[in-house]
Amino acid sequence: MKRLVAIAVAILVGLAFLAGYLPERQRRLVLERQLASLRTDLAEAQIQVLLAGLLSQLLAVEDAVSSQNYGEAQTLSSKLFDDVRAEAAGIPDPSSKDTLEKVIRMRDRITASLTRGDPQIQALLREAEMHLRSGLGSRRIVAP
């Protein structure tokens, strides 16, 4: 009799354990999937913030050029391209890295145009802006 009671108690303890363990395990698995999804979303958002910051710097260069302040534009441009190069080296997303490399390839042409005060600089800056905006997923409507 004592043996049956001991077995019954052991079975009840085992069932109680499973009754508490299984729902918590299921909950943990759901939360782990959500965490993985949120980490992916966070990484994407961080890339968007990075690209938006670089776009902001580029727009500051465009403003300086619009004001015909080429000295300030050169300083801002130098900082922009240094930042773009640094970020491109550490960015894990291949699409965003490609976007940044397109902007980096424009550095020499933009710097030369700024040095000469070439009116073509506006078009070059708009092209770089389009690259960054495409990386952000937006399109700029260009007036004819």
Is this prediction's pTM over 0.85?
no
Return the CATH number at 54. 1.20.120
Q: What is the mean pLDDT of the chain?
A: 89
User: Is 93 part of a structural domain of the chain?
Assistant: yes
Q: pLDDT digits over 34-65, tens only?
A: 999 999 999 889 999 999 999 999 999 999 99
Residue 2 has pLDDT above 80, yes or no: yes
More confident residue, 112 or 9: 112
User: Is 79 part of a structural domain of the chain?
Assistant: yes
Number of domains comprising the chain: 1
Length of the chain: 144
User: Is 10 part of a structural domain of the chain?
Assistant: no
Q: CA 52, CA 58: separation in Å to the nearest integer?
A: 10
- Percent residues over pLDDT 70 in the chain: 95
Q: pLDDT digits over 87-109, tens only?
A: 999 888 899 999 999 999 999 99
Residue 83's domain comprises 42-136
| Of the listed ranges 7-16, 69-78, 117-126, the one predicted with least confidence | 7-16
CA dihedral sign, ordered 76, 82, 87, 88: positive
